[in-house]
Amino acid sequence: MNAERLREIVDKLVEKEDEYRVQELLHSVSTSIANLAGSPTDPSFQQAYSNAFIQLESALIKAELEFTPAQKNLLREINAENLLSRELSTQIELLIQHNPVTLSVAQKEITELADAREKFLNHLRQLQAAFDSLGVEAATDQKPEIGFLLPRSLFDNHLDKLIVELGAIRKIIRVFSEVATGSTEEIEIKQISTSDPLFFFGISATTIAALGAATTWALDTWKRVEEINQIRAKTAQIEQLKDTDFQDLLDKQIKKTVADEVEKKVKELVKLSEADAGRKHELEQHLEWALNSIYSRVERGMEIEIRFISHQAIPEDGPLDPDEEKAITSLQEIVSQLVFPQISATPVTQLPPPSPNGDVTAAPPGEPDTPGVGGKKARVKKT
């Protein structure tokens, strides 16, 4: 995580803390429990505790929804995953349940919890002040960005292999750019960060939405494959099945599942294009390569993150066109689905070659990139 990313997540934590007043509500719960400990049969104290707890839990539920799965990963990196999480109210519930008679013990622990939380919040605010002094600012670009986190196992810490991976990412983006927008648009570098390199790129919201949908497809496909993988792992321990063809049968089923899902997705995506028949055939080949490339890299730990402000925010260069506005509206749902799995030690699929066969999405060396074949722009059916 670089300083800009850290500033971004710290600012959001403080903003949402102030918006939902979680610390204030936590102190109210602590006070109500202290009153209840002194007079446990008093109905007014019982009601006061119930009201305070409901308000705290409601605020935590709403605050937690403000953070995307990728942002929650950042919270874990700075030990703030429970700061604005329902886990906090669950922790309080457990303390009450474990100390129903001695509520004073629960109240003491909740007070300590509140004090520790207040101390952490103070650290965050001090960090904001330090960032201000050092001139470190969070990103303010309102246009959507897409980030690719590349695990080091993909390139073994070798620069030439990293360049190959970036080349593959470039070609994946360009394939989906043509399908989504009808042309291969320019890719702008936005940010580079983290110990496992995370590259953010600026492209159209329409292309980002298409890539995001392809990523959710890859995650859904991985879940289906993982179910078969779990069966394979369990049956591998059964002595009677060791010398049978059962494991080979499961391996074949895994490969067939991925191949069938890729084929279905390719057909779905090619329908969006109004390119001529020859170009559609090429797009089928390139989409097959791109989908296999995304899936096999997700299986090896690659993560994709989408960042944007709000579809209601108007960029500095003017209002969005209807297609971009529609794409940004869909991004909110896509972002919530980008929850990446715990990676298996042994990937099932092979990494495809770094380029699709007969790649025409990149111009020859020394020549500018041209959309489509021979510089012809492929059109996209408007839906």
Fold of 3-134: Four Helix Bundle (Hemerythrin (Met), subunit A) (1.20.120)
End-to-end C-alpha distance for the chain, whole angstroms? 38
What is the per-residue pLDDT for 146? Answer: 94
Question: Which pTM value belongs to this model?
Answer: 0.74
CA–CA separation, 198 and 373 (whole Å): 32
Give every residue of the chain whose pLDDT is below 70, as ranges. 100-101, 139-142, 236, 240-244, 274-275, 309-321, 344-345, 357-383
What is the per-residue pLDDT for 40? Answer: 77
pLDDT digits (tens, 9 = 90+) for 348-357: 788 898 888 6
Return the domain boundaries, the chain. Answer: 3-134, 145-337
Tokens representing residue 189 in the block: 């570098």
* HEC letters along the chain: CCHHHHHHHHHHHHHHHHHHCHHHHHHHHHHHHHHHHHCCCCHHHHHHHHHHHHHHHHHHHHHHCCCCHHHHHHHHHCCCCCCCCCHHHHHHHHHHHHCCCCHHHHHHHHHHHHHHHHHHHHHHHHHHHHHHHHCCCCCCCCCCEEEEECCHHHCCCCHHHHHHHHHHHHHHHHHHHHHHHCCCCCCEEEEEECCCCEEEEECCHHHHHHHHHHHHHHHHHHHHHHHHHHHHHHHCCCHHHCCCCHHHHHHHHHHHHHHHHHHHHHHHHHCCECCCHHHHHHHHHHHHHHHHHHHHHHHCCCEEEEECCCCCCCCCCCCCCHHHHHHHHHHHHHHHHCCCCCCCCCCCCCCCCCCCCCCCCCCCCCCCCCCCCCCCCCCECCC
What CA–CA distances, in Å, run from 151 to 20, 193, 310, 345, 373? 36, 12, 29, 13, 34
What is the per-residue pLDDT for 348? Answer: 78
CA–CA separation, 331 and 365 (whole Å): 35
CA–CA separation, 148 and 208 (whole Å): 12
